[in-house]
Structure formats: C-alpha cells, structure tokens
Structure 1
Amino acid sequence: MMPWGFLGQRDLLAIEEMDRPDADPERLSRTYARFPVINALLSGWHRQYRLHIRPILVRSGSASMLDVGCGGGDVARSMSRWAAKDGFRLHVTAIDPDDRAFRFASTARAVDGVTYRQAHSAELVSEGLRFDVVISNHILHHLDPAQLAGVLHDSELLTGDVALHNDLKRSNAAYVLFMAGFWPLGLGSYICGDGLVSIRRSYTARELGSVAPPGWQVEANGPWHIALVYRRDHQTEGDPGRSGV
C-alpha cells in the first residue's frame, strides 16, 4: 500500500511519454483517439459548459471560444456540439503548438464551427485577437512557472468574458483509481502511464491558488479536477506588457 505522503508534492521531474519528440506515432495516435473517453468520463466539461459558457450563449445567441493546447481537439468538438444541440452557434478556434496534435485534430471528423491552428497563445495576442471564452484542458501541470504566468496573462488579454483552465487535482485516491480503472485504455497507447504522470505533476487546489495571479479563482470541478477561472466583468484591464508562451 502506498503511504499517504506518496503524492505529497508535485513531481516536476516526471515527463509524459507523449511529450517526447521521439514518441511512437501509432501509440500517440491511439492516445489522441482515446482522449474523448477520458474527458467524457472524468473531466467535467459538460458541467463547465452549463455553468460558464451556456449563459453567454443565452445572452447573445452565439459566441467565440479559444481552446489552448487542444491536443486531439475533442473538447473543442464537444463544446460546439453541445451549443448546437441547445440551438446556439459556438465558433471554436482550437490551437496547439505541437504539430503532431495539430495534424491529428485537423484530420478528425469535421465539426461545424471548429477550426484548428498550430500556434501558441502569445501569437494570437500579437494578432490582436479576442474571444468570448478561453479554455484549456489538462495543460497547466505541463507548464513551468514562467510558461504558466504567460498563458494566464495571454488568457486575460484574449478573453472578452471568461477564461477557464481545467486541470487534474492531485491526490492518492485519484492516482490509485485511475490506475485501477483505466489501464485497459493504456494498452497500445500512452493513456495510463502518462495519466499517472499527469496526476503526479498536477496541483492541489491550495497549490494552484498560491501560484495564481490576482483576479484568478480556483474552483472545484467534480472530485478529480479543479479549474482556474478568470471573469472579465470582475476585473480591470491588465498591463499588456508581459509576454506569454
């Protein structure tokens, strides 16, 4: 049995296999293809859609969204489908700097209103773009402190309404249950091994709150996730001088 302190601190030295430049292309493709199952079961995005995004659509009938670090693009596609089912139009731009993720997302089954770009958030800031909503899924634990600060600052500049970064919440229970429940999805992919590394690298709510800049709030998102949220109507315009990643 693992001691309670097993995940007492973030494991900043652990590296996910799919992040390595020499990751096996077939295993990587299977990993992207299986992300929709993981996100549908665990990530709580439909709840976040109802709480944060649908109210914007109700007010205006349509909205724009930026998905930062979109991976295989499944969250972006789900958001567009949920909005369409509710009778709204959600235009989603999904970006990822990794050419492998971009290629996979671009060749996935097309969903009306979703477009993909290989780009960093800072590039969109430099283009002067603005979106009603900025989101990300499972990227915060990948970032070093400078990158985290950059992405959050970029999000402040890019959003016209709300920015929402959803990530794993580190705990022994999450680690054990993920290992026990999702090992079948790990066969032939990086899902299980990298998922466990992700949990080891992720924050607790208190840790994330301690590194969040002013104006950002940590909110619970089910038992396994936490969200870092920024609401434009609660803020004043920030200093645009800092650069993101």
Structure 2
Amino acid sequence: MGRFSHRSYEKEIMDDLEFEGPVLDQSLKELRTINKLLGGNKVTTNGLNQLIKKNPQESYSIADIGCGGGDMIRVMADWAKKNLIPCNFIGIDANPNTIEFAKERLKDLDHVNFKVENVFDESFEHEQVDIITCTLFTHHFTDEELLKLFSSFLKKARLGIIINDLHRHRLAYFSIKALTRLFSKSPMVQNDGPLSVLRGFSKEDFISILANSGIKNSQIKWFWAFRWQVVVMIS
C-alpha cells in the first residue's frame, strides 16, 4: 500500500489561518463545485435525517465546525426548508477571512450566525448545540488531536455528531489529482486536493479514533465518491 497505508500529516495550504485574498476566494468557489459534483453533500444531510428522526423536537440548533465558505450550511438550510424542519445554524471557523467570505455568501439567510473560534480553545465547549456537523474538516488533524476534538464534540453536542470526510484510497488520490490539474485555476486546490486524500481515513482509522475518544454509539458508512459518514448518537 505504501503511502496509502497510513495517514499523512503534511500540512495543507488551507491550514494557514492567515490565508486570504483572491486565491482563497477562488479556492473556496472551486471546492464548492467539486463537493457538489462528487456527491459529498448528501453524506451530511443523510446523517441529519438520521439524527432528527431519532430525536423529534420543534427545532434544532446545528453547529457546522470548520464551515469554510458556508457551502454546507447552505446545503443543510435548503434541506431543512424542503423538509419543513426549523433549524438555526452556527458556522464556526478559525480563519476570520473565511468567515467573512461565508457571511457575504449567506447574508440572505436570517437563521445563520458565525463565530471565529478555534476548536481547541476552552470556550468552544461552553455553548451547547443539538447537532455538530463537520465536512472535510477532521482530516486536517492528527489522530492525537482528534481524540481531544471528539471529546470536546461530546460535551458540546446534545443529540449527535455527523462527520463527513475522505476515504484514503489510491483511486481517489489519482482521480482528484487529475481533476484538479485539468480544471482548477487555484494553486491551493491543486496542492490541497490530492494531499487531503492522503490525510484522509480508512475505516479502521475511524474505528480506532472513535474508540479511544470514548465514543461508543456510532456508525460508519461509505458513500460514493470515496467519503466516510460517521454518525454519533449521543441522546
């Protein structure tokens, strides 16, 4: 398996929290298109459907961690509206430039708030929400960091957690490498796209990390194209 047998911890350009400007804007737009074309959005909405069916209530508060340009919040808001489910969203990201981009893109939604916050700050756990979602976020961290992160998630979420992230696989790596070289104008996307796959997960990775985090009631499911869905039932 070689380079695909273990997770890479090489940093992506996107990990620079000071990253900003036209390159950031172009990159976020391209990532939105890639995520939509490869079917990644349904991984999160499918998880929401599971948690909400299990926990019926009048409305839900949902925190999207590592919200980026707000793409997944838009997807979830559209899904909630279509299904007549009242939801309030909080977009959380450590990059203030990304948050400003998201605020502008989602200014037509009146049930969304944003916070510039580092998930490893002590204050992160203080404001509870019903559901935590994170899409293409967890692969940015080492296994050791994820143990701390998931522990914080357990304290912050009342009902459950939905993780949508990449399957580390040879075909996924070479496919996204070819796709970004052909169609991307963003140096960040060309670099980070293939690298993010190398930083992704096998099913065994998730099983181990979840178990070591003290998470017991969870399910892991594979989705096309090369996505893992992890749904943690807390309530």
TM-score for both structures, normalised by structure 1 = 0.82
**TM-aligned CA distance change 1:124 to 1:18, over 3 Å:** closer
In the alignment, the residues of structure 1 paired with residue 6 and residue 219 of structure 2 have an alpha-carbon distance, to the nearest angstrom, of: 19
Secondary structure in 2 matching 1:160: strand
In the alignment, the residues of structure 1 paired with residue 203 and residue 164 of structure 2 have an alpha-carbon distance, to the nearest angstrom, of: 12
**Structure 2 letter corresponding to 1:137:** T
**TM-aligned CA distance change 1:112 to 1:24, over 3 Å:** closer
Superimposed CA distance per residue, residues 127-171 of structure 1 (whole angstroms, 9 cap, x where no aligned partner): xx2211101111211113443122211111111111112111101
8 Å contact 1:35–1:72 — kept in the other structure?
no
Specify the alignment match of 2:140 in structure 1. 142
Q: Matches of residues 123-202 of structure 1 in structure 2 within 5 Å? A: 123-126=123-126, 129-202=127-200
Identity of aligned residues (%): 22
Show structure 2 runs of 5+ residues with no match: none
Specify the alignment match of 1:103 in structure 2. 100
Secondary structure in 2 matching 1:95: strand
8 Å contact 2:169–2:197 — kept in the other structure?
yes
Superimposed CA distance per residue, residues 57-107 of structure 1 (whole angstroms, 9 cap, x where no aligned partner): 793242110111111111012101110122222111010111121121122
In the alignment, the residues of structure 2 paired with residue 80 and residue 54 of structure 1 have an alpha-carbon distance, to the nearest angstrom, of: 16
Q: Matches of residues 34-49 of structure 1 in structure 2 within 5 Å? A: 34-42=30-38, 44-49=40-45
Specify the alignment match of 1:240 in structure 2. none
Length, aligned pairs only: 227
Show structure 1 runs of 5+ residues with no match: 234-245
**TM-aligned CA distance change 1:185 to 1:61, over 3 Å:** farther
RMSD, aligned α-carbons? 2.3
Secondary structure in 1 matching 2:56: helix
Secondary structure in 2 matching 1:112: coil
In the alignment, the residues of structure 2 paired with residue 98 and residue 104 of structure 1 have an alpha-carbon distance, to the nearest angstrom, of: 10
CA positional deviation for 1:228 = 3.0
8 Å contact 1:31–1:191 — kept in the other structure?
yes
In the alignment, the residues of structure 2 paired with residue 160 and residue 42 of structure 1 have an alpha-carbon distance, to the nearest angstrom, of: 31
- Flag as ranges the 4+ runs of structure 1 deviating above 6 A: none
Specify the alignment match of 1:228 in structure 2. 230
**Structure 2 letter corresponding to 1:123:** S
Specify the alignment match of 1:214 in structure 2. 214
Specify the alignment match of 2:8 in structure 1. 11
CA positional deviation for 1:22 = 6.4
**TM-aligned CA distance change 1:189 to 1:218, over 3 Å:** farther
**TM-aligned CA distance change 1:21 to 1:208, over 3 Å:** same
